[in-house]
A = this chain, B = another copy of it.
Amino acid sequence: MSQPIILYDIPGQGPVKAMSGNIFKARYTLAYKGLAFKSVWVESKDIEERMKAIGAKPTGRKPDGSDFYTLPVIQDPSTGAVVSDSFAIAEYLEETYPSTSTVFPRGSKALISVFDSTFMQGMGPMFPLIATTVYTKILPTSREYFRENAEIRFGTKFEDISPEGPKREQHWKNAKDFLGVVDGWYSKSGGKWIMGDTFSYADIIAGAWVRCFNGLFEGEKWEEISTWHGGRWGRLLEEINKYPILD
């Protein structure tokens, strides 16, 4: 690999621009494999145009049936490849750089792909809370676009997605319940990682979202989350942050 891989990410307002759970997955994968990479920042409102321009594949469809583009996307100058979707990026990096540390050890790829979709489905009931918080962190120039899309996605006025009060409390309960399920998975593993003593992409999935929470709910709320389930999430963040994900 002669030139660093380009990672397209969405900038937040803070000094650490990275904030998206799914994009943290690509960051941890690149970092764990020791591959050099360089961030290119694209505001949400510009993703479609920019990704079409580099020939990235859409990752889904909008309600009107047209192509939907999301990040992360990577562009690898050494091969010319442009790859969308965090799991597909992990697969691409495994195949293209087989001498780097593997994130799918010992025949685990199919099992981890099931883990990935089950994890994302389990996150569903806390997305209103995440979307509402992300909104406060993105650049002002992307707010209108973000708001319109969130209203379509959740089928309600933006202010009603996760307002302070009982609805927001329920979303926090959903978050804690789901992390309780993930804690149960870790408890079954017999080690500190999902595959026992072996780090894998399953830990990248969980770690990426914990890192996302850490950024979104910084301060007192994160302090609370980090103590849930016997302190599992504080420890996981500390462990996974050994990999340098910011360029």
B-binding residues in A (CB < 8 A): 105-115, 117-118, 185-186, 188-191, 193-198, 202
**Which residue of the partner chain B has the closest CB to A117?**
B118
Across-interface contacts of A112 in B (CB, < 8 A): 111
* Contact between A106 and B105, CB atoms less than 8 A apart: yes
Q: A106-B105, A106-B106 are in contact. Are A195 and B114 (CB under 8 A)?
A: no
The chain B residue with its CB closest to the CB of A195 is B107
Additional A-B contacts beyond A109-B196, A110-B196 (13; CB < 8 A): A106-B195, A107-B108, A107-B189, A107-B193, A107-B195, A107-B196, A110-B190, A111-B111, A111-B112, A111-B114, A111-B194, A114-B114, A115-B115
Residues of B within 8 Å of A189, CB to CB, are 107, 109-110
Q: Report Cα–Cα, A196/B109, bound state, in Å.
A: 9
